Homo-oligomer: A and B are copies of this chain.
Amino acid sequence: MAVELKGLTKRNDNYSQWYNELVVKADLAEQSAVRGCMVIKPYGYAIWEKMQRQLDDMFKETGVQNAYFPLLIPKSFLSREAEHVKGFAKECAVVTHYRLKSSDDGQSVVVDPEAKLEEELIIRPTSETIIWNTYRNWIHSYRDLPLLINQWANVFRWEMRTRLFLRTAEFLWQEGHTAHATSKEAEEEAVRMLNIYGEFAEKYMAVPVIKGVKSANERFAGALNTYTIEGMMQDGKALQCGTSHFLGQNFAKAFDVQFIDKENKLDYVWATSWGVSTRLMGALIMTHSDDNGLVLPPKLAPIQVVIVPIYKKEEQLQQIGEKVAGIVSGLKALGISVKYDDADNKRPGFKFADYELKGVPVRLVMGARDLENNTVEVMRRDTLEKETVSCDGIVDYVRNLLDDIQNNIYQKALDYRKQKTIEVNSYDEFKEKIEEGGFLLCHWDGTTETELKIKEDTKATIRCIPIDGDETPGVDMVTGKPSARRVIFARAY
């Protein structure tokens, strides 16, 4: 498999094409034979597994348990919650038959018309309906609450325009579905999960995010309130990285889930749902990577350190191998994943380009002179800076360097976001600035009408009403009506 770095489009030339090429060239994912469905390749999947493991630990820490619910949902379930069906019925994969048979010529298989289902089944676009239908049998009393359940699953939404990781027909995700005795507890749960998503994005992905609330128009279909974390990509566009919904009693009412409260009264159960998906892979790639390829945060990199020997004689390789063995075992003892690449069928230059493309955070190179001097050349992927370092204490040096890289790429992304976040006070200025990308902090009158007009005119949407934002009132930049506070507008993925 050749390194096709030369072909990588530069970000400034065409950001979108750069992304599409990078995902494929770095062996993260590719299109499959099925329209809109991707194949997640081993290197991409290894990153996703690291994300999963970390998130799963964080969920479980709060008392959440995993379970698994069916892939298929009876069609009628979708209609139970009025808003939900509007949001999800349009774009779903419908199972109508349960058998194939041989064609008359015996050369292929055809759908057996006699095997038609009485009621069609939908491949889950999200699982609120089937889960709340199940919860009806699990919840009877306040003693059964809270019920804190998550599932890791594949879901399917028939998307017409797809992009690897960002928008695919099938994607992998986790969906949490919790049930509570009071409105307050459910709201708190939704916020708790928003905070976990925020912490995960910032500490592990090194992606700074704004936490906020969605406008009514951008809410999840069936929610009373949708919380979101929004990241800014290197082209200034927003990417919604995760959402957490306060569902009120909507699904409990739709599926008749009632419980006896402490005062012995019957009430409907309060709900939340929350999810992040393989879309996070897109956020990770687009936030940090550069014209040489991926830049991965050390905490999620499948290979954190690669070591490449440079030698002329077999004897040198052996000496380097012996020297490197100590470094490898020292790094492994600290839980650092390290690969010693002494494959003799690829030249060092090829290896360098390949590991840069793959975003391996730290590269060590050892040659004949290093052997003599008891040194090693260290390169950090984020800045591409090289340094020659003594082998004494190299393990601690690398550990600190990994922390440094993790912090540095976060800070870099944060600085970029700060620089591209501006207050805008007139619609004329808005129309001009939105072309440059970034987050525009604007006053808005709170109506869907104004929001839709702005979207129509400029393709910008309200990303969120930031939780930690400035709460000074003002006037809407379009209508001049009163505005409670500034919200974030941006063009988004």
Binding site for B on A (CB under 8 A): 1, 30, 32-34, 37-42, 45-46, 49, 65-79, 85, 89-102, 107-109, 111, 120-123, 130, 133-134, 137, 143-144, 149, 153-154, 156, 158, 170, 172, 345
Contacts and interface: CB of A to CB of B under 8 A. Distances in A.
A70 B100 contact: no
A46 to B, nearest CB: 7
Contact of A92 (B99, B122, B137): B99
Given A79-B107, A134-B39, A154-B154, A170 B72 contact: yes
Nearest to A64: B42
Contacts of A143: 345
For the complex formed by this chain, how many copies does it contain in all? 2
Given A42-B66, A70-B170, A170-B71, A93 B121 contact: yes
Contact of A72 (B34, B96, B98): B34
Contacts of A153: 154
B109 A100 contact: no
Nearest to A346: B143
Contact of A66 (B45, B109, B120, B133): B45
A32 B70 contact: yes
A100 B93 contact: no
A74 B37 CA distance: 12
B39 A70 contact: yes
B33 A74 contact: yes
15 contacts: A33-B77, A38-B70, A39-B69, A45-B65, A45-B66, A45-B68, A49-B66, A72-B170, A75-B109, A78-B100, A79-B107, A92-B98, A93-B95, A95-B96, A98-B158
Nearest to A154: B71
Contacts of A69: 32, 39
Nearest to A131: B39
A99 B158 contact: yes
Given A49-B66, A94-B100, A95-B95, 13 more contacts: A34-B130, A45-B66, A71-B170, A76-B108, A79-B107, A89-B109, A90-B100, A91-B98, A93-B121, A94-B111, A99-B158, A100-B122, A123-B123
B33 A133 contact: yes
Contact of A71 (B37, B40, B96): B37
B67 A42 contact: yes
Contacts of A32: 69-70, 130, 134
Name the residue in A39, A49, A76, A101 with the highest tally of chain B Cβ atoms < 10 Å from its Cβ: A39
A33 B153 CA distance: 18
Contacts of A75: 100, 109, 111
B94 A67 contact: no
Contacts of A90: 99-101
Nearest to A97: B94
Contact of A94 (B68, B76, B98, B134): B98
Contact of A70 (B37, B133, B158): B37
Contact of A172 (B68, B73, B134): B68
A172 B107 CA distance: 32
